[in-house]
Amino acid sequence: MSTFKANAFLLKNLLDDVADGKIQLPDFQRGWVWDDDRIKDLLVSISRGFPIGAVMTLDAGGDLQFRSRVVEGVASNGTDQAAEYLLDGQQRLTSLYQALRYEGPVETRYRPGGSWIIKRWYFIDMQKVMNPLVDLDETIVSVPEDRIVRSNFGRDITLDLSSPDFEFERHMLPTEKIMNVMDWMLGYLGYWKDRGGHPVGDPVAFFAQFNADVLGNFTDYQLPVISLGKGTSKEAVCTVFEKVNTGGVTLNVFELVTAAFAADDFSLRDDWAARSGRLHAEFGVLQGVSGDQFLQAVTLLATQARRRKVISETSSSQSPGIGCRRADILNLTFGEYQMWADRVEEGFRDAAKFLRGQFVFTSYNVPYNTQLVPLAALYVELGNELAPANAQEKLSRWFWCGIFSESYGGGVETQFARDLEQVANHIRGGAEPELVAEANFVPERLLSLRTRNSSAYKGLYALQMKSDAADWRSAAPLTFATIHDENIDIHHIFPVAWCRRADPEVPRRLYDSVINKTPIDALTNRIIGGQAPSLYLPRLRQDVDEEKLKSILKSHWLDPDLLEKDQFGDSFVERGQAMIDLINLAMDKPTVDARQVFRDALDSAGLAEQYGDDEVEYDPLGDSVYSDETATNDNS
């Protein structure tokens, strides 16, 4: 059965309901001011009888209760009870109320999205609006708060509407007089009767024509209104709003829960601002966590508690599921939020400490922000059970399997629910989680990992540091302090400039692969420049002795001898295999020999020649023919 109806209402009646507080804004409708040009366009459209779109309301008094507030400009004594909540059309009705009914100036902005609030009065130029040859944009005029338009840096007055006589003289009708124009009309007609000389001769005939052609479009204007009934669910309100809202602040789950909790005199927005402030200040790695994700973690635990309660109290085989989909979050009660919020905040702290142990130090390098939701929930669920080394090993394996199976990129709410239940069960001695059992990394994927937008790329970067990779000059292990102090980032091993000038040329799909990249500090990257390895390695030996440099290169899975000979092909194959071994070790999976995959990639690029049956010989790609002139590494 339909829970909505659509009807046309007189704009005048809608503005009356706004003025009386019958139509109010729910808490999630945060203030957002239209710019001056959009308000003028809106008034122009109505003056010509053009459509301006529909508005949507929700009947108050049902199960879905919001804290509400009156529209900006409406006087309230604090006891007004909303009959309807305005879901869509806030800016249009607010702008129209302030321009057509409010006795003060309209708050607006100079330009869309601007931060500079200004106050303007709006007028209809009666002469221009009656002239079909005049551009529509010229018929509505906005003036500053003092009703005087100045030029020449304020020295000259170009339009003065600061008194009724000036309005009458210039045929400028204030828009706030339109809906009740009688007094202003009498003043206008009296002004021209006393003075004579009206531009069209008879001011009465002129105003009568203006009333018929223009004012009637305002007083008789009908606006389509879609009214949602009292029985409309939270999820339906959220869905409808997302589909139809074209302006203002888009409503998401967090905003709707904020509005629902406001009925309990609780500001979820302020609560999350305080929690996120603490989390972000303590752990940079959590700076990407959103309010929606915090609610997801709370809802996972709340729905799990509901499920356990039903199972313990009944013998029914039908028990509610664990979940954090939108419908689940919208059904979260304020009491459940209070029960779990502090524990979830602590769970995110524990998750951040876990990430540090996996060498993920900043939010920029978190492979999957979404994976932090089940991770935080698991820390709440398991608590001290995650302290033993074997529990941490299982958690770590699940973490890396999630990254390299790339399981958290799409619709992940179902995965979250499985993770909370299955990973906790596994750590308590149960079966392997499905995600871990089914995880697999295809070697060909390394060839397409070229930017840090990929979770697997970020994960591999962290694994490189976790596997004792060392700084190229200081030989210090890559830790959080080293990375921060030495400005370490991902750079090319065989530089881009060299690859492009090599004979045969190394194509971008290979030199930009993660196989040809590694964590290097900024100074080392400048030393490398665009040179062949055989030229930059001797320069690095000025800071690190021969044996120490070899050890450092091996910690990055590089064969010093192959680098010294500028052998891109052999280095690419061997380093690719080392990465496959490392990934499978992190996932605790049997490794595979993937060398042929990388040989085939080189062969397809014309960088390999077959000799005999299976022997493959790779061109050295240059014989140290480049000078010490530094070419750009091209990995900034």
Which pLDDT tens digit goes with each residue over 251-279? 578 887 887 787 777 889 899 999 999 99
Cis peptide before 320 (omega within 30 of 0): no
Rg (CA), the chain: 34
What token pair was written down for 590? 């049997």
Per-chain mean pLDDT for the chain: 85
What pLDDT was estimated at residue 452? 79
Confidence of residue 623 (pLDDT cuts 50, 70, 90): very low
**What is the pLDDT averaged over residues 301-327?**
86
Confidence of residue 81 (pLDDT cuts 50, 70, 90): confident
What pLDDT was estimated at residue 622? 31
What pLDDT was estimated at residue 291? 95
- Listed in sequence order, the residues at least 6 apart from 213 whose beta carbon sits closer than 8 Å to its beta carbon are 129, 130
* Residues facing 608 on adjacent strands: 618
What pLDDT was estimated at residue 524? 81
Concatenating the DSSP letter of every residue in 453-514 gives TSHHHHHHHHHHHHTT-B-TTT--B--HHHHHHHTEEEEESS-HHHHHHSSSPPPHHHHTSG
pLDDT at 106 over 70: yes
d(CA 499, CA 506): 5
What pLDDT was estimated at residue 624? 30
- Listed in sequence order, the residues at least 6 apart from 26 whose beta carbon sits closer than 8 Å to its beta carbon are 58, 66, 67, 68, 85, 86, 87, 259
d(CA 620, CA 636): 26
What pLDDT was estimated at residue 244? 53
SS3 of residue 430 by DSSP: coil
pLDDT at 618 over 50: no
Whether 513 and 447 have beta carbons less than 8 Å apart is answered as: yes
**What is the pLDDT averaged over residues 445-451?**
90
d(CA 32, CA 108): 9
- Listed in sequence order, the residues at least 6 apart from 436 whose beta carbon sits closer than 8 Å to its beta carbon are 397, 398, 401, 426, 587
d(CA 79, CA 81): 6
Torsion angle defined by CA atoms of residues 12, 18, 24 and 30, in that order, rounded to the nearest 10 degrees = 90
What pLDDT was estimated at residue 247? 47
What pLDDT was estimated at residue 568? 93
pLDDT in tens, 120-137: 999 999 999 998 888 888
Confidence of residue 290 (pLDDT cuts 50, 70, 90): very high
* Residues facing 293 on adjacent strands: none
Percent of the chain with pLDDT over 70: 87
Q: Is 291 exposed, middle or buried (0-12, 13-18, 19+ CB in 10 A)?
A: buried
pLDDT at 189 over 80: yes
Confidence of residue 1 (pLDDT cuts 50, 70, 90): very low
Q: How far is CA 497 from the centre of its chain?
A: 36
What token pair was written down for 27? 């808490």
What pLDDT was estimated at residue 489? 75
pLDDT in tens, 368-393: 999 999 999 999 999 999 999 999 99
pLDDT at 92 over 80: yes
Q: From the CB of residue 413, how many other CB atoms can be counted at a distance below 10 Å?
A: 17
Whether 520 and 635 have beta carbons less than 8 Å apart is answered as: no
**What is the pLDDT averaged over residues 89-117?**
84
**What is the pLDDT averaged over residues 323-349?**
94
Q: Which residue type does 27 have?
A: D
d(CA 630, CA 636): 15
pLDDT at 614 over 90: no
Whether 498 and 530 have beta carbons less than 8 Å apart is answered as: yes
d(CA 79, CA 569): 78
Q: Which residue type does 566 have?
A: D
Count of residues in the chain:
636
pTM for the whole structure: 0.69
What pLDDT was estimated at residue 626? 28
Query: Which position has the higher pLDDT, 274 or 80?
Result: 274
Degrees (nearest 5) of the Cα angle 416, 418, 422? 125
What pLDDT was estimated at residue 113? 58
Confidence of residue 27 (pLDDT cuts 50, 70, 90): low
Confidence of residue 486 (pLDDT cuts 50, 70, 90): low
Weakest mean pLDDT among 201-210, 246-255, 357-366, 490-499: 246-255
d(CA 59, CA 75): 22
Weakest mean pLDDT among 72-86, 458-472, 578-592: 72-86
Q: Are strands 156-160 and 148-151 parallel, antiparallel or unpaired?
A: antiparallel
Q: Which residue type does 620 have?
A: P
Query: Which position has the higher pLDDT, 478 or 223?
Result: 223
pLDDT at 494 over 80: yes
Whether 302 and 340 have beta carbons less than 8 Å apart is answered as: yes
d(CA 262, CA 258): 6
Residue whose token pair is 């809202």: 245
SS3 of residue 50 by DSSP: coil
Q: Which residue type does 449 have?
A: L
What pLDDT was estimated at residue 620? 35
Nearest to 15 by CA among 111, 92, 81: 92
Q: From the CB of residue 167, how many other CB atoms can be counted at a distance below 10 Å?
A: 21
Percent of the chain with pLDDT over 90: 53
pLDDT at 522 over 80: no
d(CA 404, CA 586): 9
pLDDT at 627 over 50: no
pLDDT in tens, 457-483: 999 888 888 887 787 877 777 766 555
Torsion angle defined by CA atoms of residues 217, 219, 222 and 225, in that order, rounded to the nearest 10 degrees = 140
Query: Which position has the higher pLDDT, 75 or 78?
Result: 75
Query: Which position has the higher pLDDT, 380 or 504?
Result: 380
Query: Which position has the higher pLDDT, 199 or 421?
Result: 421
**What is the pLDDT averaged over residues 392-412?**
91
d(CA 389, CA 281): 28
Query: Which position has the higher pLDDT, 521 or 31?
Result: 521
Confidence of residue 112 (pLDDT cuts 50, 70, 90): low
Which stretches of 178-326 are assigned E, i.e. beta strand? 222-228
Distances (CA, A) of 628 to 248, 517, 538: 57, 22, 11
Q: Is 303 exposed, middle or buried (0-12, 13-18, 19+ CB in 10 A)?
A: buried
d(CA 57, CA 38): 22
CA atoms within 13 A on the CB side of 385: 15
Whether 179 and 12 have beta carbons less than 8 Å apart is answered as: yes
What pLDDT was estimated at residue 246? 46
**What is the pLDDT averaged over residues 605-619?**
49
SS (H, E, C) 107-155: EEECCCCCCCEEEEEEEEEHHHHCCCCCCHHHCEEEECCCCEEEECCCC
